[in-house]
Amino acid sequence: MLLIWNAFCAAADNATEPHLLFKKTVVIKPYQNGKLYAEPYTVRPGEYLWKILREHYNMNNEQIALYCRLARELNPALLNEHYVQTNQHILIPYAFVSDNATTLPLSQRPDNESALSRGSVAPSEEHLTTEVIGSRESSDNEAIGHEQRVRSLLSQYTRMFHGTDNNSGHMVVPIGRQSSIRIDRKDFPVYEFPWGKKLVFDYGGRLPKELTDILSETWNNVDIVAVRSRENMELVLDRILERSGFYQVERKAGYTVNRNNIQITLHGDWIIFKDRLLKNVFIVNLIEGDAGDLPVGLKRYFEQEGLGIIDLRSNMAKPQNPSLVRALSGSRKHITVGETVKLIDTILDLSGYPYKKEYATEILYGGSGGISIQVIADRMFEKDYETHIISFHEFTPTIAAIFSQQGIRFLQINPNNGDRDAIIKKMLDFCRMTYAPPPVKVAYDRTKPSEIMMTIPGYLITTPTGDVLLTRDGVHDDIKAILHEIGIGVVYY
């Protein structure tokens, strides 16, 4: 340690004492092939190393990058050279002299006035701070928890796009030929994506503006994502998406996929178009609370159509199982109906009414009891104290009129009729079943803002044991699996 005294004495040689005395403490340490000059400094509010070296020592960007690194070597307690605490005592390096030089370069010396303004008392080794650089000014648990949630969100987001989450070790960014910036990725994680984009996470805005500007200028395709303490997670994710290098990002929009007469419209928080071709499309949803994820089959279905689904959770809550507005507990089997008669029997089975086949009945005719008409009903059931008869054969208008007079509900169906939609509608109306006519709209409910509407050709029938979809064969296997998973039975006709 070297003490330098500067005395401004009176002009007369016979002056007995100096008129004004300045004292400065300088620390000289061997470094590589020379000596490193530094002095003690107490950090003031709002200051950081970059600002101190620029304002007090008039260094350029290359010099600042170098001396920030040297400051870390001089102060072992500093884990991050870009962030210091107010009132922290540190050693500030300001000059390096090689062994071949005989004098300290005057251009790098601080003037006496600035040295005096910073004080003249040097801290001893034991007085140097031992606080961890990068620690929060507040130990508030809520703020720390918020940072952890944001980091988790960024990690989920990066992995969804097959990127790399770098949150340990160091990254060195060259500046010029002989200088560099060293980033501690524990404090400032770096998220890299396959298309070359890099995001540096800065919680609390700790990186000085000068440093962020230099990083943006010298580090290709990099952006700083600064997040304020307790900032709204939706605003955070909005900023992340904006700086990820996508061609277009839309808020609160819908995207429709059409395939085999099945239309599925997905409304999401964000729709991302990765490139100008508008083919690489992603729906991004911020899921809060314990809302459920999309079924795997539905995600796979969308992926086959070129649409990726990315669900990001703002907390670590365990997702619940997805449900539909009309979903039922349990599951139902898929039934394939190959003939009209089987289709009719299936609808009767779904109605829950016990019915009889080839049922013989006698109907009294006229006022006398001696005359009756015997009728063979292909299908017969009772509902609400009424007899219902279904015939696959043609009856005369007279017989039909007699049925009506006797209070018997009668339906005649030609089993050779190829219009199965007409047969289904007749049967559903005849059995007085509750149903939604085609096309069926099924809304996926997993807590807003994620909304999915599936439009499927067919009939959604309410039965005593649950909802059943009657639809034509050709529904994609993933859609079938989803309907099965959420408790909707399927009949293909």
Element (H or E) spanning 36, and its range?
Answer: strand 34-42
pLDDT at 428 over 60: yes
Comparison of pLDDT for 323 and 170, the residue scoring more: 170
Residues 234 and 290 in one domain: no
Helix (H) or strand (E) holding 148: helix 141-160
On whether both 34 and 112 belong to a single domain, the answer is yes
Paired with 283 in beta bridges are: 271, 309
pLDDT for res 49: 84
> How far is it, in rounded angstroms, from Cα 449 to Cα 296?
19
461 and 350 Cβ atoms separated by less than 8 Å: yes
User: Between the ranges 171-180, 236-245, 326-335, 388-397, where is the mean pLDDT highest?
Assistant: 236-245
Fill in the DSSP letter of residue 320.
P
Q: Please state the domain count of the chain.
A: 4
Residue 267 counted as domain residue: yes
Most confident of 170-184, 213-227, 468-482: 213-227
Q: Indicate whether 410 pLDDT > 60.
A: yes
For residues 28 and 36, what is the distance between their CA atoms, to the nearest angstrom?
A: 6
For residues 90-117, give the mean pLDDT.
54
Please report whether residue 25 resides in a domain: yes
pLDDT class of 126 with cuts at 50, 70, 90: very low
**Res. 442 pLDDT band, cuts 50 70 90:** confident
Q: Which residue has the higher pLDDT, 476 or 154?
A: 154
Annotate 158-220 with DSSP letters as a single string.
Answer: HHHTT-EEE-SSEEEEEETTTEEEEEETTTS-EEE-TTS-EEEEEETS-S-HHHHHHHHHHST
- Asked whether the CA dihedral 303, 304, 306, 307 is positive or negative, the reply is negative
Per-residue pLDDT, 106: 33
Element (H, E) at 114: helix 112-117
List, in order, residues 6 or more apart from 429 with CB less than 8 Å away: none
Q: Is the predicted pLDDT of residue 118 greater than 50, yes or no?
A: no
pTM to 2 decimals? 0.56
190 pLDDT exceeds 90? yes
Average pLDDT for residues 410-436, to the nearest whole number? 90
CA-to-CA distance for 225 and 287, rounded, in angstroms?
Answer: 21
What is the per-residue pLDDT for 121? 31
| Distance separating alpha carbons of residues 112 and 22, to the nearest angstrom | 8
Residues pairing with 21 in the sheet: 7
pLDDT at 133 over 90: no
Residues 6+ apart with CB under 8 A from 53: 59, 63, 64, 67, 68, 92, 94
As a residue count, the chain comes to: 493
Nearest partner of 206 among 138, 150, 134, judged by Cα: 134
Of the residues 370, 403, 419, the one at which a domain ends: 419
Q: Which domain holds residue 190?
A: 141-242
Q: Are strands 489-492 and 466-471 parallel, antiparallel or unpaired?
A: parallel
| DSSP secondary structure letter of residue 38 | E
pLDDT exceeds 60 at position 132: no
Q: What is the pLDDT of residue 370?
A: 60
Contact 68, 53 (CB under 8 A): yes
Kindly state whether residues 87 and 176 are assigned to the same domain.
no
395 within some domain: yes
User: 290 by DSSP, 3-state: which?
Assistant: coil
Nearest 5°: CA angle at 307, between 306 and 309?
A: 145
User: Residue 152 in contact with residue 316, Cβ under 8 Å?
Assistant: yes
**Domain membership flag for residue 424:** no
**Contacts of residue 411, Cβ cutoff 8 Å, sequence gap at least 6:** 388, 389, 390, 391, 426, 427, 430
Query: In this structure, how many other beta carbons lie within 10 angstroms of the beta carbon of residue 49?
Result: 27
367, 392, 419 — which closes off a domain?
419
- How far are the Cα atoms of 43, 227, 388, 428 from residue 184, in angstroms, in the given order? 21, 17, 80, 69
- Do 78 and 43 fall into the same domain? yes
Q: What is the DSSP letter of 366?
A: S
pLDDT digits (tens, 9 = 90+) for 228-278: 888 899 999 999 999 999 999 998 888 888 887 888 888 888 999 988 877
Q: Please state, for a pLDDT cut of 70, what percent of the chain lies above it.
A: 75
Between residues 131 and 360, which one has the greater pLDDT?
360
Residue 46 is assigned to a structural domain of this protein: yes
Is 329 a residue whose pLDDT tops 60? no
Torsion sign over Cα 64, 67, 73, 78: negative
Residues 295 and 402 occupy one common structural domain: no
Residue 456 has pLDDT above 60, yes or no: yes
Asked whether residue 188 falls in the same domain as residue 238, the answer is yes
Q: What angle do CA 379, 383, 384 make, to 5 degrees?
A: 160
Give residues with Cβ within 8 angstroms of 124, minimum separation 6: none
Question: What is the b/e burial string over 176-202, where b = at least 16 CB atoms within 10 angstroms of the residue's CB?
Answer: eeebbbebbbebbbbbbbeeebbbbbb
Are residues 94 and 116 both part of a single domain? yes
Reference 264, options 307, 327, 320; nearest CA is 307
Per-residue pLDDT at 385: 87
pLDDT band at 459; cut points 50, 70, 90:
very high
In a domain, 349, yes or no: no
- State whether 105 and 173 are in the same domain: no
pLDDT tens for each residue of 12-21: 344 444 333 4
Residue 185 counted as domain residue: yes
What per-residue confidence (pLDDT) applies to 292?
Answer: 62
Domain contains 479:
no
- Report the distance separating Cα 414 and Cα 392, nearest Å: 6
Please state the rounded mean pLDDT for residues 195-201.
93
pLDDT class for 478, splitting at 50, 70, 90? confident
Predicted confidence band at 163 (pLDDT cuts at 50, 70, 90)? very high
Question: Are 158 and 210 contained in the same domain?
Answer: yes
Q: Would the pLDDT of 52 be above 90?
A: no
CB 153 within 8 A of CB 227: no
pLDDT band at 76 (very low <50, low <70, confident <90, very high): confident
Tell me if residue 52 falls in helix, strand or coil: helix
Compute the average pLDDT of residues 105-122: 33
Q: Mean pLDDT, to the nearest integer, of 373-384?
A: 86
Q: What is the pLDDT of residue 245?
A: 92
Residues 145 and 207 in one domain: yes
The verdict on 369 and 393 lying in the same domain is: yes
pLDDT value of position 312: 87
- Cα 270 to its chain centre, rounded Å, is 10
Residue 335 has pLDDT above 80, yes or no: no
- For 371-382, b/e burial (b = at least 16 CB within 10 A) is eeeebebbbbbe
On whether both 258 and 228 belong to a single domain, the answer is no
The phi, psi pair for 267, rounded to 5°, reads -100, 125
